[in-house]
Amino acid sequence: MSFQAPKGTFDWLPPRSERVLAVREALAAPLRRAGYGYIETPVFEDTQLFARGVGESTDIVSKEMYTFPDKAGRSLTLRPEGTAPVVRAVLQHNLHNGQLPVKVWYSGSQFRYERSQKGRYRHFWQVGAEALGAEDPALDAELIVLGARGFASLDLKQVRLLLNSLGDKNCRPAYRAALQEFLRGLDLDDDTRARIEINPLRVLDDKRPEVQAQLAGAPLVVDHLCADCRAYHEEVRALLTASGVTFEDDPRLVRGLDYYTRTTFEFVHDGLGSQSAVGGGGRYDGLSEMLDGPPLPSVGWALGVDRTFLAMEAEGLLGDDTAPRRVQVYGVPLGDDARRRMFLLVDELREAGVSADLAFGGKGLKGAMKGADRSGARFALILGERDLAAEAVQVKDLATAEQTEVPLAQVVDVLKEKVQ
Ligand code: ATP
Ligand code: MG
């Protein structure tokens, strides 16, 4: 009986795993260029951080958290998202007492006990960014543009940006009340009726067709925005347009919790079926206060790396990655003395910046040359007893089959030149 990865999880194996590293890098690169600093928080946190920071009424907190007691009886939770931990870290280390906004980005695993299916996993990876401590439409626009640039740098063509505003503490209460009144008149199950009272915006997000059908005439938040929120939203839209980032107004795009304010957005990809969101975010002006901090108006997003990868696959951007070029040079030592010498030579090559590997396990010439072919190397270094005695090595160009003898003392320089 052999072990399997837990349900809802999977392994990234070479050579694909190299591609996913590159995807994470590509999504982060625009953030680095915009002055966002890297932050790393623990993979687990105090359960209460998420209960408050994500919200008891959300699916994440009510159903999806990996919560466990540690040996001292503390309740800990594997992080299901990155924003609450980042806000916690900023407050804990007083970063908000320095220059504002505090701009940070992260890259890491998230854990949610979800119904696993393609694009929806229990362990997945996000690249995220948060800008804390400034209320400025240019900051919302900056983050959205940086997300769009990240996807574009991967050559993704079918990512769409959906945009909405949720209003603020001045105009949202009246909208919330109007929405509740509308929803109470619908034919809904008990759970959904209960949600109307706690978290009515979330009902708009219900994916079931029988619910969606009844929501056609629901009041929209855009029709209830106060003058300030309207002006703010228009400025975000204008900056996006000026940046050449296309978006679609989606008046039904919501985030459920009261501390989410104003700008909200989602990046979706049409090649992914029902798991279409490749990223999402928005402004969360009240979260710091929920976590006992001072008012700290902030905006952020998280992009799903796994779904981004699936989107690339759907657009045919991954190509054929079955034969990767792993190393440039491959050592073929014949005999014990040659093996020791080759071990050192390969180390020297690597230190000189040439990627190199060698045959292990005491293989003979035929087996070792097969390894050289499979390694994708351009050059094989063949070292036998006679070569050793002559202080030389045979350099075989695996593309042309041409073989030359090179003095051992010069081979690192010669190869450095050849692999340029
Ligand atoms: P969805 O509506 O698809 O459940 P979400 O609103 O829960 O997404 P967020 O919490 O905003 O997603 O997370 C940001 C991004 O992380 C999503 O847009 C998605 O790309 C990715 N993501 C979220 N949950 C998962 C998951 N279970 N597996 C893989 N990626 C995920
Ligand atoms: Mg979800």
What integer best gives the mean pLDDT of the chain?
95
Structure tokens at 271: 């090649």
| Domain ranges across the chain | 16-171+225-314, 329-418
Q: Distance, CA 303 to ligand 1 centroid (Å)?
A: 8
The CA-based angle 292-293-298, given to 5 degrees, is: 125
Residue pair 129/105 in contact (Cβ under 8 Å)? The answer is: yes
H or E segment at 70? none
**Mean pLDDT throughout 221-240?**
97
CB neighbours of residue 28 within 10 Å: 21
Is the confidence at residue 376, as pLDDT, over 70?
Answer: yes
**Among 94-103, 254-263, 369-378, which stretch is predicted with the lowest mean pLDDT?**
254-263
Which is higher by pLDDT, 413 or 254?
A: 413
Point out the ligand nearest to the CA of residue 126: 1
Q: Over pLDDT 90: what percentage of the chain?
A: 90
255 is in an annotated binding site: yes
The CA-based angle 43-139-149, given to 5 degrees, is: 75
* pLDDT 10s digits, 31-45: 999 999 999 999 999
The pLDDT, as a whole number, for residue 68 is 98
The pLDDT, as a whole number, for residue 67 is 98
Residues with CB under 6 A from ligand 1: 81, 112, 114, 120-121, 124, 126, 275, 277-280, 302, 304, 306-307
State the residue for tokens 């054929």: 320
* pLDDT 10s digits, 144-156: 999 999 999 999 9
The pLDDT, as a whole number, for residue 323 is 57
304, β-bridge pairs: 126
Is the confidence at residue 399, as pLDDT, over 80?
Answer: yes
Q: Distance, CA 118 to ligand 2 centroid (Å)?
A: 13
Rounded CA-CA distance 130/37 in Å is 10
DSSP letter, residue 285? T
82 is in an annotated binding site: yes
DSSP letter, residue 117? B
Question: Which of 307, 308, 309 for mutating ligand 1's site (highest number of atoms within 8 Å of CB)?
Answer: 307
Is the confidence at residue 48, as pLDDT, over 90?
Answer: yes
Is the confidence at residue 382, as pLDDT, over 70?
Answer: yes
* pLDDT 10s digits, 170-228: 999 999 999 999 999 999 999 999 989 988 998 988 889 999 999 999 999 999 999 99
Contacts of 209 (CB under 8 A, 6+ apart): none
Rounded CA-CA distance 272/278 in Å is 9
CATH of domain 329-418: 3.40.50.800
The pLDDT, as a whole number, for residue 99 is 94
**Mean pLDDT throughout 227-238?**
98
Residues comprising the chain, all counted? 420
407-415, long-range: CB < 8 A, 24+ apart: 408/341, 408/345, 411/345, 411/381, 412/345, 412/348, 412/349, 412/352, 412/354, 415/328, 415/329, 415/349, 415/354, 415/379
Nearest atom, ligand 1, residue 121 CA: 28
The pLDDT, as a whole number, for residue 199 is 87
Go through 123-153 and write b for each residue having 16 or more CB atoms within 10 A of its CB, e for each that does not: bbbbbbbbbbbbbebebbbbbbbbbbbbbee
Structure tokens at 399: 């593309």
Is the confidence at residue 321, as pLDDT, over 70?
Answer: no
Rounded CA-CA distance 165/233 in Å is 7
CATH superfamily of the domain spanning 16-171+225-314: Bira Bifunctional Protein; Domain 2 (3.30.930.10)
Rounded CA-CA distance 233/219 in Å is 18
Strands 159-165 and 248-249: parallel
Rounded CA-CA distance 331/349 in Å is 11
* pLDDT 10s digits, 254-269: 876 778 899 999 999 9
The pLDDT, as a whole number, for residue 256 is 66
Rounded CA-CA distance 238/190 in Å is 42
Residue pair 220/209 in contact (Cβ under 8 Å)? The answer is: no
**How many C-alpha atoms does 58 have within 13 Å on its Cβ side?**
19
Is the confidence at residue 124, as pLDDT, over 80?
Answer: yes
pTM of the model: 0.93
pLDDT grade, residue 1 (50/70/90)?
confident
pLDDT grade, residue 322 (50/70/90)?
low
Is the confidence at residue 294, as pLDDT, over 70?
Answer: yes
Q: Distance, CA 315 to ligand 2 centroid (Å)?
A: 23
The pLDDT, as a whole number, for residue 267 is 98
pLDDT grade, residue 284 (50/70/90)?
very high
